[in-house]
Structure 1
Amino acid sequence: MASEQPALILEQRVSKHADSELHCHEVSLRLSNDRHHLILSHYTEHYSPQGSQWVEQHHQVPMNEVLHWFAQQAGHNA
């Protein structure tokens, strides 16, 4: 689910283990190309002497639902 919109990187982590394994993890947030959805992406990559694996997941929420939620939260905190 590639997007032309720039991402806000929420978390980025790389860890190396003594047994030569490398683990990469990234969580990012961006708008969809049509700007109607907010997309949360989660990417994990694992390298080892036996090979590599990666998993990429995307969750999207319509922007009108995000804005409605923000408005509700503001009402609760007023």
Structure 2
Amino acid sequence: MRNAEEFVALVRDETGLAVTIEHLDAGFDQVPGWDSLHLLRLTTVLERETGRTLSFPDVLEAPSLGRLYALAVGE
């Protein structure tokens, strides 16, 4: 995952949701169809894809996909 576009594609592939780059700055409650199970699944996938362990408290506090992306890439 080299950039935000690849992250969005990964989210789409793993969740089946019609996520776009514009959803990165929206709160999770603004992402159509989003639920907490998507967050758990995506956290696991991001750890596998990046080789990084994500802090689960930080993941739970993330307000958006954009913040989750930043956590995944170490920003």
- Calculate the TM-score normalised by the size of structure 2: 0.28
Which structure has the highest strand share of the two?
1
Query: Radius of gyration: which is bigger?
Result: 1
Indicate the structure whose relative CO is greater, using CA pairs within 8 Å and at least 6 residues apart: 2
- Calculate the TM-score normalised by the size of structure 1: 0.27
Which structure has the highest helix share of the two?
2
